[in-house]
């Protein structure tokens, strides 16, 4: 996997990578990660990726991270792991 660039964000660590004919957007928050794969054929210029990470999209990303944490905590409690 080839690193393309970091995408600055106030809440999350975001990296853009290229691998196997795809661009990969990795968004990290603590122990959780969301990955979006975009075919190089579908994206004319990887420079547009930061603009695609607009407020409505990032708001949903934040909600998804919250849901992931809720699910993880719930399974830990159900299974006496925490």
pLDDT digits (tens, 9 = 90+) for 2-49: 999 999 999 999 999 999 999 999 999 999 999 999 999 998 888 999
Average pLDDT over residues 56-81: 97
Q: How many domains does the chain have?
A: 1
Structural domain that includes position 55: 2-78
Q: The tokens of 30 are what? A: 């603590």
Cα distances from 77 to residues 69, 70, 71, 73, 80, in angstroms, run: 12, 11, 10, 6, 5
């Amino acid at each position: 996997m080839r690193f393309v660039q970091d995408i600055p964000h106030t809440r999350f660590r975001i990296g853009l990578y290229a691998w196997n004919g795809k661009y990969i957007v990795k968004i990290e928050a603590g122990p959780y990660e969301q990955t979006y794969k975009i075919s190089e054929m579908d994206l004319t210029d990887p420079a547009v990726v930061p603009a695609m990470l607009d407020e409505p999209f990032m708001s949903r990303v934040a909600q998804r991270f919250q849901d992931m944490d809720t699910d993880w905590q719930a399974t830990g409690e159900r299974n006496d792991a925490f």
